[in-house]
Amino acid sequence: MTLRDRIALPVLHRLDPEQAHRVALRALALGLAPLPGPLSSSRLRTQIAGVGLPNPVGLAAGFDKNAEAAGPLTRAGFGFVELGAATPRPQPGNPRPRLFRLSEDRAVINRFGFNNAGAPAIAARLARARAEGRLAVPVGLNLGANKDSADRSADFMSVLATAGASVDFVTINVSSPNTERLRDLQGRDALAALAAGVTAERDRQMASRTRPLPVFLKIAPDLAEADLSDIAAVAREVGLDAIIATNTTLSREGLASRHAGEAGGLSGAPLFDRSTRVLARLSVLTGGALPLIGVGGISDAEGAYAKIRAGASAVQLYSALVYEGLGLAARIARGLDELLQRDGFASVAEAVGTDRDRWLS
């Protein structure tokens, strides 16, 4: 951990979690944090759905919902950054308190409910940052739906239509547990219709783009085998470009914190095994034909490496930053490079899925 993180984290942890997050994001936006810039090597450079990444360590959606610090985050050591979730109209989200640190469990529970400034404001910030050359690595946007929407599927297409020109990939988020009935869109028929609509809007935009716009899908970790099989089939049939596994869980198994009973999605260390098993199973179900991005409980290079060897072509972080600081991204990228070299892999791609069977038993 850097000296900066050793000093800053105890101070931030004295604040309410949501206030601490706002302070950290504001400090980034103001340029108050020294940043290493994009980290890369011949081993770390990789591609996801045609998007070149300097390294496979990404920032998960939710950290910067409104693209307030997009430029600095792309220089924090990550190989790619996902912003949002964005909805067509601004919405305040659920009542506070809605973010809880479970320090004993190295975990977080949130029930934000897609609080964000709305797609037009987010798209405008991203367009400015791109025009000014402030985005150092690929940037994606997590697509969401307004809580009171009469047609949530249409909301995903609306956000894409508004913001698609300013990003390098988009993610269909049907896996947040904090918007009522959103996870119903993971069912085969509903998901197929939604994904077809989003990819059709993406294809409509392609006439005016100079680079591809991959469409990813983010799924929950609480799915049965049959659900995973349906999702894999829909992803192939519709032509989605990658699956992100996974979002937060509703499980509370084995937690020690006094906040364990809070409603919302659980992320962090307790999610690692569950999300990695889903990842490995998806790797089998997709037959290696679809890139997977591993998320859930990664807090060090060994965890990132385990996700890759379970089937992920890239990984994403979020909750561990609460406990390890923003310098974690660079530490994981450097450590991952060393692990690949140690085991004789010339690239991330060579390591993908090489230990998958461990997670299938």
Poorest-pLDDT segment among 18-22, 32-36, 92-96, 309-313: 32-36
pTM: 0.97
Report pLDDT for 175. Answer: 87
Catalytic residues: 176
Give me the number of domains the chain comprises.
1
Q: Where are the alpha helices (DSSP H) in the chain?
A: 3-12, 17-29, 70-73, 119-131, 152-163, 188-205, 225-238, 272-286, 301-310, 319-324, 328-342, 348-351
Report pLDDT for 210. Answer: 87
Tokens 């914190």 correspond to 257
Q: Are 58 and 137 in contact (CB under 8 A)?
A: no
Report pLDDT for 33. Answer: 85
Report pLDDT for 4. Answer: 77
Domain membership of residue 352 as a residue range? 3-359
pLDDT in tens, 135-169: 999 999 999 999 999 999 999 999 999 999 999 99
Structure token digits, residue 282? 């998806």
Report pLDDT for 263. Answer: 97
How many Cα atoms sit within 13 Å of 71 on the Cβ side? 16
Is residue 361's pLDDT more than 80? no
272: closest CA among 239, 302, 298? 298
Structure token digits, residue 299? 């807090």
**Measured distance CA(45)–CA(55) in Å, rounded:** 5
pLDDT in tens, 213-266: 999 999 999 999 999 999 999 999 999 999 999 999 999 999 999 999 999 999
pLDDT class for 1, splitting at 50, 70, 90?
A: confident
Tokens 């089939």 correspond to 233
Is residue 40's pLDDT more than 80? yes
pLDDT in tens, 158-217: 999 999 999 999 999 988 987 877 778 888 999 999 999 999 999 999 888 888 999 999
Can you give the CATH number for the domain in which 146 is found? 3.20.20.70
What b-and-e string marks burial along 100-126, b requiring 16 or more CB atoms within 10 Å of the CB? bbbeebbbbbbbbbbbbbbbebbbebb
pLDDT in tens, 307-358: 999 999 999 999 999 999 999 999 999 999 999 999 999 999 999 999 999 9
How confident is the prediction for the chain on average, in pLDDT? 96
Report pLDDT for 154. Answer: 96
pLDDT in tens, 92-129: 999 999 999 999 999 999 999 999 999 999 999 999 99
311: closest CA among 337, 269, 344, 281? 281
Structure token digits, residue 102? 């479970």
46: closest CA among 58, 54, 38, 36? 54
**Measured distance CA(223)–CA(231) in Å, rounded:** 10
What is the average per-residue pLDDT within 61-86? 98
Report pLDDT for 6. Answer: 86
pLDDT class for 288, splitting at 50, 70, 90?
A: confident
